[in-house]
Amino acid sequence: MRIMGLDVGVKRIGIAISDPMGWTAQGHSVLQRKNAGYDFGVLLDICQQYEVEKIVVGYPLNMNGTEGPKAQEIKEFAKLLKEKSQLPVELWDERLSTRSAERTLLEADVSRQKRKQVIDKLAAVNILQGYLNSLN
């Protein structure tokens, strides 16, 4: 069962896809956001192409576990995605996923310009892999 993981930001959406067995997350792409119709269209095309059966969306809780304005936005995004895709959509605590991705890229000595291009995809991988690990 393939699962899609998303790191949803204001300008970009990092996308990861699991292997067919649902064990490992691989980075897929970074979607440069334009408008809701375009964004959902691209995501639904990827779901169809990879036969995705579930979507996991990073849920940006505050460090103390409370919901802030960004978490409310993501909750609304996930609700719309569920309606449009007709797939199960789960929220997954993404605290520190982007920081972890940044640290990994810094340790790999990736340039600032390249980090900017891949950080959202790597954050999506971290979100999805965390979710997959919780299933096992």
CATH number, domain 2-135: 3.30.420.140
Buried b / exposed e over 23-59, threshold 16 CB at 10 Å, is: eebebbbbbeeeeeeebbebbbebbeeeebebbbbbb
Write out pLDDT tens, residues 60-84.
887 787 888 899 999 999 999 999 9
Query: Among the listed ranges 54-63, 92-101, 108-117, which one has the minimum average pLDDT value?
Result: 108-117
The full set of domain ranges for the chain reads 2-135
Report how far residue 84's alpha carbon sits from residue 30's, in angstroms, rounded to the nearest whole number.
20
